[in-house]
Chains A and B, each alone.
Chain A
């Protein structure tokens, strides 16, 4: 008796189900897909690096007895009042508009408890955020929505945004469902418009102009505030050099894993480079200018745990910034929301329609009923806990490498698991002394 072999369906690697679905969606709607978050594709990342713990050739520090410093000073190149943070993990710029007022307040609360800074976003500074943030960085964006000199003076630092890792070269958008009366009022826009943000600044066009713009902001604030320049990672070697030459105190470098509130899916997945190869390029630029550790480097894009923090700092960053991870800590994509997320076509762990304002967690929404669900005190406490864990983990690894401060980590503490990561991070492939692209002697 012969049994029929069950058929095996072969999925195309080129036209997989996701690709087919996107072609079908495009054919039906005639418009590109917009979503939040950063790239979802697998890219070389910190997981492809390992730290080399101490043994005979290196002397480790006692885990709970010997000090491993975590503080960082940002902006002491020119500013009269640099920022001194207890921990080197900051909260990245996210706008009120993209996020609810409660979410912004929670970010401020959590950051302040942990001794770090948070950052405004496109759309200006809210009193809730300023009130709860011990250190607040005020973003200066192309749109200048909500930009005013009173808030500029209230800020602890100013971050000139040239780009964002999720969309270097692209402007922003905030769809009409989130442009409520309050959001529209702060941005001087009609209620309910699909708001577009320009992709480049309206009153300067190149690095020479940027130098004058930085000088203007310093003059307006009497040279008190550190001036950060934020770059979406694409050509970081050149961008960092130009920004430093223009007078930046701090460089913020955001890789393609960094999130966005709303951008075209195709843009998120295909423009820019991961943070892993971006850091060594930026550090090289700073070192060649004699500015490494003098102009601080904050990196972001896919920081999730203390290992990522330690590895980023070992590559030469002075601090890291988190955005997506901070939202998750507040309550984004929590399993208790699974049922509700399924009703809007998603599921816990997958939700990325941050642009449509229907977030049941009350974070990426302007719906007053949804926003009420997020308790800013409780969410702030969760964020503070998460930040503490990031730092404890990073300290644990730094001590194991024999480092008395997170800033003492360096590339010699790293190896790579893949040839690609070794080439990008400029560290040896594990078990070898081979750094792809570097001469062997």
Chain B
């Protein structure tokens, strides 16, 4: 395992090393100390263990890599991720997984506001609760919440499937509760298994788009 200590190395040196064609497949990042833009833009199958807290955009635009943060993360963790996986052992700030197209984002703690905003195909599994306006304009993918969801969940939702175990403070425009059919239970079980959470899929509720706002209609003006 290769170690980069950010008390002496720069963020630039870390990212360049992870972008270069590396022989070492396992990397350890020591003393991250909340620095921003750690392990962003990786495009190869490496495993990165960040041993502490990370700042904004940790693992942004990740492709293929597996990144684990042994701490909390700031705004926009795994933003626009394309593939691979990102696991946060602590909690995440706002906009976790924003606009991400693919891969798996697991947050073992809580996530702040706008978790999964404009998500475009990623799977996000949160062990705790999520903040308000989560999954706003969510386009594709799955969002699983083992705790509670804040206000306006799934506002202006497109095709994301949302599963919440706890309470939902309120649903956003055009987001509705939907039947949990057998295929959804199976899908949810698969997501929970991949995330490593021992939860009963039957204890979750499913939410999705009513698809009433897909086209502008005068009668819906107050909902936009």
Q: Which residue of A lies closest to B137 (CB)?
A: A198
Shortest CB–CB separation between residue A65 and chain B, in angstroms?
49
Cβ B15 vs Cβ A219 within 8 A: yes
Cβ A203 vs Cβ B98 within 8 A: yes
- A147 with B41, Cβ < 8 A, contacts A188-B121, A198-B137, A216-B56 known: no
**Interface contact tally, CB-CB below 8 A:** 104
Of B37, B55, B98, which is within 8 A of A202 by CB?
B98
Chief secondary structure at chain B's binding surface: loop
Shortest CB–CB separation between residue A143 and chain B, in angstroms?
7
User: What chain A residues lie within 8 Å of B120 (beta carbons)?
Assistant: 144, 188
User: What chain B residues lie within 8 Å of A219 (beta carbons)?
Assistant: 11-12, 15, 37, 40-41
- A148: Cβ under 8 A from any B Cβ: yes
Q: Digit string of B33-50 for contact with A (CB within 8 Å is 1, else 0)?
A: 000110011010000000
- A125: Cβ under 8 A from any B Cβ: no
Chain A contacts with B in 139-190, Cβ cutoff 8 A: 143-144, 147-149, 152, 175-176, 187-190
A209 and B36 CA atoms in complex are apart in Å by 11
Cβ A194 vs Cβ B215 within 8 A: yes
A369 and B134 CA atoms in complex are apart in Å by 41
- A196 with B36, Cβ < 8 A, contacts A212-B56, A220-B61 known: no
- A434: Cβ under 8 A from any B Cβ: no
- B95: Cβ under 8 A from any A Cβ: yes
- B99: Cβ under 8 A from any A Cβ: yes
Cβ B12 vs Cβ A144 within 8 A: no
Of B63, B98, B159, which is within 8 A of A149 by CB?
B63
Cβ B215 vs Cβ A216 within 8 A: no
A204 and B57 CA atoms in complex are apart in Å by 10
- A194 with B61, Cβ < 8 A, contacts A188-B139, A204-B75, A219-B37 known: no
Cβ B137 vs Cβ A188 within 8 A: no
Q: Which residue of A lies closest to B18 (CB)?
A: A219
Chain B contacts with A in 71-116, Cβ cutoff 8 A: 75-76, 79-80, 82, 94-95, 98-99, 101, 114
- A340: Cβ under 8 A from any B Cβ: no
User: What chain B residues lie within 8 Å of A188 (beta carbons)?
Assistant: 101, 120-121, 139-140
User: What chain A residues lie within 8 Å of B43 (beta carbons)?
Assistant: 149
Of A31, A144, A192, which is within 8 A of B118 by CB?
A144
- A220 with B40, Cβ < 8 A, contacts A189-B139, A194-B215, A202-B98 known: yes
- B194: Cβ under 8 A from any A Cβ: no
- B218: Cβ under 8 A from any A Cβ: yes
Q: Which residue of B lies closest to A142 (CB)?
A: B118
- A346: Cβ under 8 A from any B Cβ: no
Q: Digit string of A185-223 for contact with B (CB within 8 Å is 1, else 0)?
A: 001111011101010001110000100110110011111
Q: Digit string of B182-224 for contact with A (CB within 8 Å is 1, else 0)?
A: 0000000000000000000000000000000011101001000
Cβ A215 vs Cβ B75 within 8 A: no
A144 and B81 CA atoms in complex are apart in Å by 12
Shortest CB–CB separation between residue B139 and chain A, in angstroms?
5
User: What chain B residues lie within 8 Å of A203 (beta carbons)?
Assistant: 57, 75-76, 79, 94-95, 98-99, 117
Cβ A194 vs Cβ B218 within 8 A: no
- A190 with B36, Cβ < 8 A, contacts A149-B43, A216-B56 known: no
Cβ B118 vs Cβ A193 within 8 A: no
- A29: Cβ under 8 A from any B Cβ: yes
Cβ A216 vs Cβ B40 within 8 A: yes
User: What chain A residues lie within 8 Å of B12 (beta carbons)?
Assistant: 219, 223
A291 and B56 CA atoms in complex are apart in Å by 28
Q: Which residue of A lies closest to B121 (CB)?
A: A188
Q: Which residue of A lies closest to B55 (CB)?
A: A212
A194 and B212 CA atoms in complex are apart in Å by 11
Of B19, B94, B114, B221, which is within 8 A of A222 by CB?
B19
- A190 with B61, Cβ < 8 A, contacts A148-B80, A148-B101, A202-B114 known: no
Of B56, B156, B216, B221, which is within 8 A of A209 by CB?
B56
User: What chain A residues lie within 8 Å of B60 (beta carbons)?
Assistant: 216, 220
User: What chain A residues lie within 8 Å of B19 (beta carbons)?
Assistant: 222
A147 and B101 CA atoms in complex are apart in Å by 9
Cβ A216 vs Cβ B158 within 8 A: no
- A194 with B214, Cβ < 8 A, contacts A144-B118, A219-B11 known: yes
- A216 with B57, Cβ < 8 A, contacts A188-B139, A194-B216, A203-B98 known: yes
Cβ A202 vs Cβ B214 within 8 A: no
19 additional contacts (CB under 8 A) given A196-B156, A202-B95, A216-B36: A31-B218, A143-B118, A144-B80, A147-B99, A148-B82, A189-B158, A190-B158, A190-B159, A202-B99, A202-B118, A203-B57, A203-B79, A203-B94, A209-B75, A219-B11, A219-B15, A220-B15, A220-B41, A220-B61
| A-B contacts, 10 listed (Cβ < 8 Å) | A190-B158, A192-B215, A193-B215, A202-B99, A202-B118, A203-B79, A215-B36, A216-B57, A219-B15, A219-B41
**9 closest Cβ pairs, A-B complex:** A220-B41, A203-B76, A144-B99, A203-B95, A30-B218, A149-B61, A203-B98, A202-B117, A188-B120
